[in-house]
Structure 1
């Protein structure tokens, strides 16, 4: 194993090699997570992460309740082209951070709607205004975005949740920078991003806990989906 290489990255490469060597063919079903975990002597979590990266690459399709299937007809080209990009530690960390944020921040939004004081709501509102004023000023926009999410965590009034968000602060800033770069590369997504944050602020202001949680889930899930689409679009452009 290479330095700083995670277990699931090793498993990704093993599965990739099996595909490229013709041991696994398009349309074929992969062994179960349990079987793969036993085969490679690793946890099912590591297997699940490797499969997730393969799915984002467009190499496999995970059919819940049915299994995981080789998807691409040009599997070799896809895997070879994308593996270096997706398995880069920094790029992979972005997806992992978005998953972590999905769990933590949806709960922060929920409790913020229940517990936010008038001062908390005012602070979140100032972040929204700063995001509006920042427009497409990259650094200013990133800081306003980051402070918005911090302010929601503070408004949840749960010291453990806040401590976790603060501990992840440096990584959060990197993911926000990366996702804003991805989103703002497309026309119209700046306004859409601002509206998503504004709607979340309004839900918290209305004390709509379930609505705020759902909006946070939708916001982060949408970002992850868009980043996956951008990666695939870049791949197809390279092939033209």
Structure 2
């Protein structure tokens, strides 16, 4: 480990062991450096790295603070890392989605509120309206799943799946463009998920979600095996916002 890495590890340990709590202010740089036996330059570099990692935040004119350490904040960098994955990793991410999302959907069925259910239904209605617009349908498809996963109330799970699933959106658009019947099947599969959620039936919800993700994975696997490539995005892909 470099000296900077050791400094980072020491600050992380202080947070992990409760010496520095979420939202607390760090001692002045000179004092903290002396307490840890580090130079001020090393301390400054460690703080910069932890700011980038969303562990610390610098408030100009006030000092350096520990962030909330919320999962959505700490896992923020995962999305950027996933976007840089190369080769056949889109298929690997689809496999990961298949492992996580059906179980998460089952959990959502046990916790979903009437308000959450209405949000899921709203995106399904938008998917029906966008049947002939693959890009828009896919954005509402992604928003549908985000609403389902958020209904679990598990921020860590929601953040992980958001970053994993987001990288597969382009593949789903490709399927919609290449398969004339994909829109109808996709909507029907989402209707099955909604029905299971409305019934608060976790087993049925898990089965419906597994069927849906598996269909996409199988299509993607077959076409990549034939040497086809996922078309690059032609522009920025805005997401459909969820109500808060």
Q: TM-score, normalised by structure 1?
A: 0.55
Counterpart residue number, 1:139: 135
**Does the alignment pair 1:130 with 2:123?**
no
Please tell me whether the aligned partners of residues 142 and 173 of structure 1 are also in contact (alpha carbons under 8 angstroms): no
Cα displacement (A) at 1:198? 1.2
**Does the alignment pair 1:217 with 2:213?**
no
**For 1:141-173, what per-residue CA distance to the aligned partner results, in whole angstroms no more than 9, with x for missing partners?**
22201111100111112222123224x1xx523
Shift of the 153–125 alpha-carbon distance from structure 1 to 2, 3 Å rule, reads same
Cα displacement (A) at 1:226? 1.2
**For 1:69-98, what per-residue CA distance to the aligned partner results, in whole angstroms no more than 9, with x for missing partners?**
xxxxxxxxxxxxxxxxxxx95451211211
Shift of the 164–234 alpha-carbon distance from structure 1 to 2, 3 Å rule, reads closer
Counterpart residue number, 2:169: 176
Please tell me whether the aligned partners of residues 125 and 201 of structure 1 are also in contact (alpha carbons under 8 angstroms): yes
How large is the RMSD of aligned CA atoms in angstroms?
Answer: 2.1
Aligned residues: 145
Please tell me whether the aligned partners of residues 183 and 226 of structure 1 are also in contact (alpha carbons under 8 angstroms): no
Rg (Cα) greater in structure: 2
Shift of the 139–179 alpha-carbon distance from structure 1 to 2, 3 Å rule, reads closer
Counterpart residue number, 1:226: 219
Q: TM-score, normalised by structure 2?
A: 0.54
- Pick from 140, 159, 162 the counterpart of residue 163 of structure 1: 159
Counterpart residue number, 2:112: 116
How do 1:1-150 residues align onto structure 2 when only pairs under 5 Å count?
90-150=86-146
Please tell me whether the aligned partners of residues 134 and 177 of structure 2 are also in contact (alpha carbons under 8 angstroms): no
Cα displacement (A) at 1:218? 1.5
Q: What runs of 5+ residues in structure 1 fail to find an aligned partner? A: 1-87, 236-240
